[in-house]
Structures are given as C-alpha cells and as structure tokens.
C-alpha cells in the first residue's frame, strides 16, 4: 500500500472520530433536554403537559422517520447556512446532529423511564421540586443507562457518518466509497471497514466498561 | 394532629372507575403510633398516600395541624411535605448515592449549609446505628440496613410525622422486630407521630397505640389495639387476628370452636388444664399464640369443644368464672359472607357477644 494511501486512511480515521464525537456531544447537548421534556411532560410524568409533549414528540418522530441519506441531501441549504459549505467533515456534523439529536432524545427518554418509580415517589414525598427531581434524581439515577445509550448512539452516529461519504463528507466512509465503490479497490474498502469495526468495538466495550465502573448497583 | 375528613379516592382509567378509598374519617393525635391494617387491596396504601397528597383525594380534607393540605399551592405543599417523612416497603433509596448522601438528600432540598448538613448526617447515622456504612451504596446493604437508612433520611428535616407504608413487609421476622423497635424508640425519644400501614397484625401488636381496620376502601373498625384484639367487631378484624387464617387457604374451623383471649396475669395461669380437669371435658387446641401488646402479655387460643351441649355449657361457665374473654370463632377462610351465616343452634348458649352484622360496621365506630 502506498504511503499516500496510508496517510489518507490515517486522516480518514481522525475525520471519522472528529465527526462522530463532535456530533455525539452536540446531539446529547440537545437530546438530553428534549428527552427530559418528553419524560417529564408525559401523561404519567411529574409535570404532565400534553401540548408540550405532543410538539416535541412530533418533531422528534418526523426527524427520526426521514432516512439519513435523504435528510442529508434535504438539509443541504441549512448546512451551508450554518457552516458555509456542504462538503468535508465539519459540514457533515450538521446533518449528523439533526438526525442524531431526536434519536438521542428517545434514548434519554427510555433511560429515564427505567428509573425506579418508587425512588421517584420517595423524592416527591420529600418535597422535591421538578428541577430538583431532574438534577438530583432522574439524571443521576439514570446515569448508567444513559451511558449505555451513549455507547449505542456513538456506534449509530459512526454508521451515519460513513453514509455521508456519498455526498462529499469526509472520513473512512468517504474513502470506502471513493476507492471501493467507484474504483473497485476492494482492499482499501476492506481496510476501512475493518477500521470502522474496530472503532465501534472500542466505543461499545469502552462504554460498557465505564458503566460497570460507575454503576453503584453492581456492587 | 392529622385529621382525615370524608376522604374519597377514585381511580379512573378509561371508562372503568375503581374506588380505592371511600369516606374515611380518622383523627391521629400527636405523638401517637397509629396502625392502619387490612388485607391486600383494602386501600390502605392509597389512604396513607392521601396524607401527604402523593395521591390527591377525589373528595375530602387532609388537615395537618390545622392546615388543609388539599388547599395548598404546589410550593406550599412541597414545604408541608418536608414535615412528613415517609418510608416504603422497597426502601426507595437513591441507588447511585452513598448512604450518607441518601440521608443528605432532604437536607439538600432544604438548602441546609454543607457543614451543618454533614453534622446532621452524622447524628442520623448514629441514631440508626449505621455510622460505619456512611460510604456504602444501597446495593451493599441488607434489607434491614436499607430501611434504617430510609428512616434516617425520613427524619433528616425533623418531621413531625412519619408515614410507614408496609415498611417491614419485605423484611424477615427478626429484622422486622428490630425496625419496629427503632420506630418505637424514635416515637418515644423524638415525639414523632408514626402512621403504620400493614397487613400483619403482629406489626400492629408490637408498636401501635390505636388501629384502624380497612376493608374495601372503608374503615370498618377502629380503636385501641387492645380493644380490637380482644373484641374484634368486624369480620375483617377477626380474620386479621385469627392465627389460623391464611389468605386463600380455605380452612374452615368447626362450629364448636371458641376463641379465648387472655389478658394480663391469666395468660400465665394454666387455664386450659384447670378447665379440662374441673369441667371433666376434653378439648383440642386448634391454634394458639401469645403476643405482647403495650407491654402486657396477651394470648389467644382457638379450642375445639366437644359436641355435647352440656359440656360446652360447663366450659362457658368455667370461663365466665375465671373472667376469660371468649367468643365463637368465625369459620376462617370462608369469605365476607361468613358473618351472615347463623351460628349453629347448639352453640347459641356459648356465644358471649353476637357477631355484628355488616350494617353495624359504622365508620369511625369505636370498638368496645
């Protein structure tokens, strides 16, 4: 393999990590509040609010039902508005976040639903306000489950980032498509695929190891 | 003082309505340990949740020290709840916090300064005898230890009331005893009012001053524990104190069975032996247990008498002479309809007090 190609793949790995990690962080910054709103305003939540729940729920569902590749193309004008370009890894972060934030919101909501209702009841009995419940009960108690969700989200977002290679995104996905698909260099494609598998493994196992370390229920 | 006035609670899901609590009136005095007992589904857990408005009553007033909680704003209600501690069957500790931080939780809500909160947590850990577990997590504790943490947490802000919802039902008998002793100690030392929800009569026996018996959402009987034990007025109370009764067991006692209740010194005296000799009768002891109520020994016994009416009369005369409470036992496990079944004619003479009809189960009726 030529040194240029090795350089290209190394760059691809960094671009992939950059897109995936930055997108995941931004998706969580948006997704956690959305997930909390979905959970808290649910009919069975601590502050039921049908209108709020319906609005957030509908937006989340619409964004989640658009296939990523189509969403990617559909929001190109928006991407250009935000980052000034539609190609490269930074431009890919925009559609990745638009697709992943609603997904993360549902992951967060489902993690919060796992919090023991008895603990929630005890916190209510002690006179906790909604904010105190969110900060001191829901999020801390759901932390292990939220981390498992984050590991799964990372792998999903990594997969999305590879798809972005089709429309000028960077990273390993672009290399796999450009060399493997357009130039029939299957060895290059194979290498990128193996690298992607390794990265997903690291995220997944690293995430679970972290959960085992921080979850106080497993002692 | 806790006053519950005409409390109703109906749950609605779709088109079906379930009334969990109906027209309950109770007054619980300051510093009292008050039991609410009933079988599963009697509505006692819902009723106790009406006291701190975890469940908002469909109708009625919850008056604590003169304030009707149902009229408070959400903020005022949160403040009022800080004066009412609560412990649960499943402990409900924050799993990701240490023991000390669990106890600290209500202090954080109250905005207690860090140093003061640390001091209070230390006091509480010492009070429930868990000083060495401060840094442990709930998953590392036994059930009894978890409940002690929950008790310390409930006491953190010096509440005037502690609500216990089946607090010992997940614990073994020895641990149950220890937890009840702790509650009693806290009641005596701190003067905190304790409301105990349970389906186990031995819990009521061990710590309660007064008890209300619930069935199908209503209070069917209330009074001092001693009175309810000696002279249960309702079918539910009878079944709860019957040592042979097991839910769904279907066991029926023969009609010639007597329940003897002993108080004070009698329980130590050999009444049955003496009776069999003096009356020249043979009796079978179907079941017996001895309890300790309010520091006084108390025993009850179910005996099966001979079918011979004359012998039965001799037994009753003997018991009358000894001043022992006795009554015909309701056939156990035969369901609520049992109170409608007339007693067997040959046993009429021995019935000391008639079984009350359901109509007599007046709300708030004091047991004799």
- Per-residue confidence (pLDDT) for residue B322, from 0 to 100: 82
Q: What confidence tier does B334 reach under pLDDT thresholds 50, 70, 90? A: very low
**B106 interfacial to chain A (CB closer than 8 Å):** yes
Q: What is the mean pLDDT of residues B334-344?
A: 37
- Residue B362 confidence (pLDDT) above 60: no
- Per-residue confidence (pLDDT) for residue B240, from 0 to 100: 85
Q: What is the mean pLDDT of residues B85-95?
A: 96
> Which position has the higher pLDDT, B268 or A25?
A25
- From the number of C-beta atoms within 10 Å of its C-beta (0-12, 13-18, 19+), residue A38 rates as buried
Shortest Cα distance, chain A CAs vs residue B202, angstroms:
25
With beta carbons under 8 A apart, name residues in chain A contacting B94.
119, 137, 140-141
C-alpha A157/C-alpha A95 separation (Å) is 11
C-alpha A52/C-alpha B32 separation (Å) is 45
Burial of B53-92, coded b for 16+ CB within 10 Å and e otherwise, reads bbbebbebebbbeeeebbebeeeebbebbbebbbbbbbbb
> Which position has the higher pLDDT, B239 or B8?
B8
Q: What confidence tier does B255 reach under pLDDT thresholds 50, 70, 90? A: confident
C-alpha B23/C-alpha B218 separation (Å) is 7
- From the number of C-beta atoms within 10 Å of its C-beta (0-12, 13-18, 19+), residue A84 rates as exposed
Q: What is the mean pLDDT of residues A103-127?
A: 96
The structure tokens listed for A177 are: 């498509």
Rounded to two decimals, what is the model's pTM? 0.82
User: Are the CB atoms for A127 and B82 separated by under 8 Å?
Assistant: yes
Interface of chain A toward chain B, CB-CB under 8 angstroms = 116, 118-119, 121-129, 132, 136-137, 140-141, 143-144, 215-219
With beta carbons under 8 A apart, name residues in chain A contacting B95.
116, 119, 141, 216-217
Top residue of A47, A119, A126, A132 to mutate, by most chain B CBs within 10 Å, is A126
Taking CB atoms and an 8 Å limit, are B54 and A128 in contact across chains? no
Taking CB atoms and an 8 Å limit, are A218 and B139 in contact across chains? yes
- Per-residue confidence (pLDDT) for residue B345, from 0 to 100: 37
> What average pLDDT does the structure give for chain B?
83
- Per-residue confidence (pLDDT) for residue B51, from 0 to 100: 96
- Residue B353 confidence (pLDDT) above 80: no
- Tens-digit pLDDT profile for residues A54-69: 999 999 999 999 999 9
Judged by average pLDDT, the poorest of A137-146, B73-82, B143-152, B254-263 is B254-263
Query: What is the greatest pairwise CA distance in chain B?
Result: 77
Q: What confidence tier does B351 reach under pLDDT thresholds 50, 70, 90? A: very low
Taking CB atoms and an 8 Å limit, are A136 and B86 in contact across chains? no
Interstrand relation of B59-64 and B67-68 (parallel, antiparallel or unpaired): antiparallel
Top residue of B96, B136, B156 to mutate, by most chain A CBs within 10 Å, is B96
C-alpha B118/C-alpha B77 separation (Å) is 26
């Amino acid at each position: 393999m030529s040194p240029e190609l090795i350089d290209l793949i190394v760059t691809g790995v960094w671009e992939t990590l950059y897109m995936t990690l930055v997108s995941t962080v931004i998706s969580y910054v948006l997704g956690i509040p959305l997930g909390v709103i979905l959970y808290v305003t649910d009919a069975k939540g601590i502050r039921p609010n049908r209108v709020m729940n319906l609005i957030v729920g509908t937006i989340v569902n619409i964004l989640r039902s658009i296939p990523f590749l189509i969403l990617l193309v559909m929001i190109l004008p928006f991407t250009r508005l935000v980052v000034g370009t539609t190609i490269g890894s930074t431009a890919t972060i925009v559609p990745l976040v638009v697709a992943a934030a609603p997904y993360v919101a549902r992951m967060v909501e489902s993690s919060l639903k796992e919090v023991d209702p008895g603990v929630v009841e005890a916190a209510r009995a002690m006179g906790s306000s909604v904010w105190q419940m969110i900060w001191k009960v829901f999020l801390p108690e759901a932390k292990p489950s939220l981390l498992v969700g984050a590991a799964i989200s990372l792998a999903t977002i990594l997969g999305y980032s590879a798809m972005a290679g089709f429309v000028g995104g960077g990273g390993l996905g672009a290399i796999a498509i450009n060399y493997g698909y357009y130039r029939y260099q299957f060895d290059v494609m194979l290498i990128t695929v193996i690298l992607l598998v390794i990265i997903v493994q690291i995220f997944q196992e690293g995430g679970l190891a972290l959960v085992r370390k921080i979850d106080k229920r497993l002692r | 003082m806790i006053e519950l006035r005409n409390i109703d609670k109906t749950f609605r899901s779709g088109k079906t309505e379930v009334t969990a609590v109906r027209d309950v009136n109770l007054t619980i005095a300051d510093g009292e340990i008050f039991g609410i007992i009933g079988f599963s589904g009697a509505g006692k857990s819902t009723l106790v949740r009406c006291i701190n408005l975890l469940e908002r009553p469909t109708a009625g007033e919850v008056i604590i020290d003169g304030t009707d909680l149902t009229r408070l704003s959400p903020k005022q209600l949160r403040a009022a709840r800080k004066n009412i501690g609560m412990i649960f069957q499943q402990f409900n500790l924050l799993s990701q916090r240490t023991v000390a931080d669990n106890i600290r939780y209500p202090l954080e809500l109250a905005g207690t300064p860090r140093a003061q909160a640390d001091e209070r947590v230390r006091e509480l850990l010492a009070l429930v005898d868990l000083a060495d577990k401060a840094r442990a997590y709930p998953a590392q504790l036994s059930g009894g230890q978890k409940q002690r943490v929950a008790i310390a947490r409930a006491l953190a802000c010096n509440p005037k009331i502690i609500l216990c919802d089946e607090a010992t039902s997940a614990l073994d008998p020895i641990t149950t005893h220890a937890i009840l002793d702790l509650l009693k100690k806290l009641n005596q030392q701190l003067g905190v009012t304790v409301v105990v929800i349970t389906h186990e009569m031995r819990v009521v026996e061990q710590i309660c001053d007064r008890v209300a018996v619930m069935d199908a959402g209503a209070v069917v009987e209330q009074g001092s524990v001693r009175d309810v034990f000696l002279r249960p007025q309702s079918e539910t109370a009878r079944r709860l104190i019957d040592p042979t009764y097991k839910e769904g067991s279907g066991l029926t006692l023969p009609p010639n069975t007597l329940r003897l209740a002993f108080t004070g010194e009698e329980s130590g005296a050999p009444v049955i032996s003496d009776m069999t000799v003096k009356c020249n009768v043979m009796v079978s002891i179907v079941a017996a247990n001895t309890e300790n109520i309010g520091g006084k020994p108390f025993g009850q016994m179910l005996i099966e008498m001979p079918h011979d009416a004359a012998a039965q009369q001799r037994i009753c005369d003997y018991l009358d002479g000894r001043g022992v409470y006795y009554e015909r036992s309701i056939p156990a496990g035969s369901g609520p309809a049992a109170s409608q079944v007339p007693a067997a004619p040959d046993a009429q003479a021995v019935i000391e007090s008639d079984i009350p009809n359901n109509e007599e189960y007046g709300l708030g009726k004091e047991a004799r």
